[in-house]
Structures are given as structure tokens and as C-alpha cells.
Amino acid sequence: MKREIVTKLAPKAIGPYSQGIRSSGGTIFASGQIPIDPATGELVAGGIAEQTERVLENLKAVLEADECSLEDVVKTTVYLKNIDDFAAMNTVYAKYFPSCPPARVCVEVARLPKDALIEIDCIAFEGHNFSY
């Protein structure tokens, strides 16, 4: 079983995909977000820091639309147009995941939609606060 996640607080899907999907068992799959301002539909101005912040705000909005948060994220994939932006991206990224950051993959790619500098997708698990 799965359920689509939809919010106006993140850019709407521009193709045959969902902003996010919740599967049975509490796993949330958020589609890759690029730095589109959902209010304007335009790429945000600025460099990698501004774009990283917008991407993470978009992911946060998708998760919150399903009563989750970035605290529930267990895995991200970061796609950078230029791997030289890694340190600057990482500085912003760290602010969004201050404790127990998720597992992550970061790769350089040839091109992203709208010539964005970054795209991030994630997997979250509601109820990740288990005790061992």
C-alpha cells in the first residue's frame, strides 16, 4: 500500500511522479527537489548556499505535509552540478541535520533540471526514535 504526499509549500511535480510517497510501514520517499521557490515557480537567486537551503526547505515541506520532519530522514542523495561546491553545500546541510545526520551519498552530475546547482532526495522513516 502507498499514499501520495502533496503540498503547495514545495514545487509541484512537473511530470509523472509524486512529490513524495508514504508506503505502509511508515517509510516516506521524497522525490528529488531542486531549488525552486514554490511561491514563484522560479529557481532561487544565488549560489550553492542559497540553492541548498531552498532544496532542504522544499524537502522539509514535503515531509511536514505527511506529519514528519527532517529528524525522520534516514538517507539522502545529493546531486551536485560541481563537486567543488561540496564544502559550501555541506555547511548549509549540517544546519538542517544537527544531530544524528542521515546516511548520505553525494555525487557530481553533468546537468540538473533548470540548470540547478543541486538536487536532493530523501528517505524518511516515521518513528525512527527507537530504543536499543
Residues 91, 65 contacting (CB under 8 angstroms) = no
Length of the chain (residues): 132
Side-chain-facing half-sphere of 114: CA atoms under 13 Å: 16
Q: What span, in angstroms and rounded, lies between the C-alpha atoms of 96 and 70?
A: 7
Q: What are phi and psi of 87, to 5 degrees?
A: -65, -45
3-class SS shares of the chain: helix, strand, coil, % to 5 = 30, 30, 40
The set of catalytic residues is 106
